[in-house]
Amino acid sequence: MTSRTPWQRYQATLCPVPPGLDLDVSRMRYDDAFFARMQPALERAFDAMQALEAGAIANPDEGRQVGHYWLRSPELAPSPALADAIRSGLAQVKRFASDVHAGRVTPPRAERFRRVLAIGIGGSALGPMFVADALGRGAADRMQIAFLDNTDPDGIARTLAGIGDALSETLVLVTSKSGGTAETRNGMLLTAEAYRAAGLSFAAHAATITQPGSALDLEAAGAGWLARFPIFDWIGGRTSELSVAGLLPAALQGLDIDGLLAGAAACDAATRVRDARQNPAALLALMWHHATNGRGEKAMVVLPYKDRLLLLGRYLQQLVMESLGKRLDRAGQRVDQGLTVYGSKGSTDQHAYVQQLRDGRNDFFALFVRVLEPGGSPLEVEPGITTGDYLHGFWLGTRAALAENERESITLTLPRVDAASIGALIALFERTVGLYASLIGINAYDQPGVEAGKQAASAALALQGRVLAALSREAQGVEQIAARAGAADQAETVYLLLEHLCASGRARLVEPASPAAARFTAL
């Protein structure tokens, strides 16, 4: 490949991505024998993906299927009952959104719902936020949408303050597959308190997306919430954007959810082809393998040249890194796998970190996302040149500058940012992650590290309770408090907890000094 001209490489490698996108890997410096070397592993990846779509158990420890591909092609689901359930969920989303927009579902003290507050975290927030920002039309949207995606009390307060007096016309969506996600529940509780403080019924403004029978589902049923939407057990958070979890907020915002699903279905069909040069997901997975030696040795820097795609990097961080960042392979051997994802946008990045990309460490490959339709004003800022021309020129220049210094890059070209293109992007990366995971022998669909983090956080909160109980009116040092809390070997953590408790007004630092000499009391 390296002996051909750029034009020859471009023609030889360009791969269409239905329904109208293109994948260009001509600036990747793989050798001519690369595809032949990878063919056996790729065949195994195709077989694994075919079994997955047929209903194979993807997570043996959980006994769980992974079927996000069925969401945009219900006829491929492994049973007619499951296909009917998928269609029923989509119909419920459309019916509820239509009723809200038409004023058939209304709040008690306002003419109609005009805003949405979506509460979730991880896949319940990153996908919907990406789609909302990419496809939103501002004031022209059917409903304005805001998100709570953290347990930061200040962040929650800022978002609620931004809604202000419009709380009475705000529909709250609470999304938690398990029904027990701590961050989501915390956001819900603070939001419910804001409704109570305003003299409003939270239940009359709330709907939930959760598994039937979960604690959240039972709470919503008991309190008489407006609506409850089921989410399937076989939908993982990071692949849930084209499920009810992502389609309901999009439908309420007034976005084209049929276009999202159609774009994803078209891309899915292309990514089932067993010829890597004609299968954009297989081609992209192979390029990831080439760039990183199948070991994650280089990071992927996502550079969309479109403001609407700013959140693509954040969305891909979860989809790619949570799927591929695994300590063990499927055989239980330690492999420490992963693919680090960074994200910014062009041409902003040219005034931020392209200097290092061009001249610094060669520890990355770039993923450019280019959009042909400029949008906005066609005003010429110079004779014959628009702002869109500048944006496109900066992409061309950055791509060329990287290539001149032997920095590899991939370019995805979208005709425009519309529902079909965004649906195709989502489907492309979902499939790429699955194929690449098979190439390197890991499970893309579990997340043991996330669970370990949750358990560690629970342990820290339990220790905080014991630290509070160990405080007294008598000033004590950190080690004394740690010993009384039954955590003599965790003095550092105890000190950090005491700092937090003092800052939040639940303990007092009476002798400010070094950590070793500091003394604390109860209030």
Burial class (CB in 10 A: 0-12, 13-18, 19+), 111: exposed
Residues 299, 340 contacting (CB under 8 angstroms): yes
User: Integer distance in angstroms from the first to the last C-alpha of the chain?
Assistant: 71
∠ CA 308-311-314, nearest 5°, is 165
- What are the beta bridge partners of residue 343? 302
Task: Based on the residue annotation, tell me whether 351 is a catalytic residue of this protein.
Answer: yes
Residues 226, 116 contacting (CB under 8 angstroms): no
Which of 400, 377, 396, 372 lies closest to 387 in space, CA to CA?
377
For the stretch 32-38, contacts whose Cβ atoms lie closer than 8 Å and that sit 24 or more positions apart, written own/partner, are 32/1, 34/286, 34/290, 35/276, 35/277, 35/286, 38/276, 38/286, 38/289, 38/439
Residues 149, 132 contacting (CB under 8 angstroms): no
Q: Is 61 left (phi over 0), alpha (psi -120 to 50) or beta?
A: alpha
Helix (H) or strand (E) holding 470: helix 448-470
Helix (H/G/I), strand (E/B), else coil: 105: coil
Task: Based on the residue annotation, tell me whether 345 is a catalytic residue of this protein.
Answer: no
- What are the beta bridge partners of residue 170? 115
| C-alpha to C-alpha distances, 421 to 54, 406, 501, nearest whole angstrom | 26, 30, 48
Q: Which of 351, 382, 404, 406 is catalytic?
A: 351
Residues 183, 151 contacting (CB under 8 angstroms): yes
The letter for the amino acid at 223 is: A
Q: Which of 169, 219, 322, 408 is catalytic?
A: 322
Cα 479 to Cα 489: distance, rounded to the nearest angstrom: 9
Burial call 374-403: b when 16+ CB within 10 Å, e when fewer: eeeeeeeeeeeebebeebbebbeebbeebb
Q: Which of 43, 193, 454, 500 is catalytic?
A: 454
Task: Based on the residue annotation, tell me whether 322 is a catalytic residue of this protein.
Answer: yes
* Phi, psi angles (nearest 5°) of residue 302: -90, 120
Catalytic residue annotation: 322, 351, 454
